[in-house]
């Protein structure tokens, strides 16, 4: 959720407990989860509207965006490590 790890979420929860106190924390968590659900529903609805309006052209728009997302997640160190470890013996 939101790109946060379990440790980050736990840290935020403990900080919220200190700031809000145990009485108001459950209500705040409900409010945040409600807002996150609305944001997901809005994003899904926006995508559906785009698909409906663009029709088959939507895939032409979506493919480059997926390629950009894949580039953003690319880890050059892992690729180099994989290349070096998977390579066979050097050619003589």
Per-residue pLDDT reduced to its tens digit, 53-79:
888 888 888 888 888 888 887 888 887
Which pLDDT does position 31 carry in this prediction?
A: 93
Which pLDDT does position 30 carry in this prediction?
A: 93
Q: What is the DSSP string of 26-89?
A: HHHHHHHHHHHHHHHHHHHHHHHHHHHHHTTHHHHHHHHHHHHHHHHT--HHHHHHHHHHHS-S
The torsion of the CA quartet 31, 36, 39, 43, rounded to 10 degrees, works out to -160
On whether the CB atoms of residues 25 and 17 are closer than 8 A, the answer is yes
Which pLDDT does position 44 carry in this prediction?
A: 94
CA dist 34 and 42 (Å) reads 12
Where do the domains of the chain lie? Answer: 6-85
Which pLDDT does position 88 carry in this prediction?
A: 60
Which pLDDT does position 85 carry in this prediction?
A: 80
Closest C-alpha among 69, 79, 85, 84 to residue 3: 69
Lowest pLDDT segment from 9-18, 31-40, 71-80: 71-80
Q: In the numeric block, which tokens belong to residue 19? A: 């700031």
Q: How does the average pLDDT of the chain come out, rounded? A: 84
Which pLDDT does position 68 carry in this prediction?
A: 86
Which pLDDT does position 16 carry in this prediction?
A: 87
């Amino acid at each position: 959720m939101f790109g946060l790890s379990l440790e980050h979420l736990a840290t935020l929860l403990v900080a919220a407990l200190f700031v809000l106190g145990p009485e108001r924390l459950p209500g705040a968590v409900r409010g945040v989860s409600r807002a996150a659900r609305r944001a997901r529903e809005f994003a899904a609805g926006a995508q559906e509207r785009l698909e409906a309006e663009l029709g088959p052209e939507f895939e032409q728009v979506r493919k480059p965006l997926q390629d950009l997302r894949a580039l953003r997640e690319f880890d050059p160190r892992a690729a180099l490590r994989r290349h070096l470890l998977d390579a066979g013996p050097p050619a003589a």
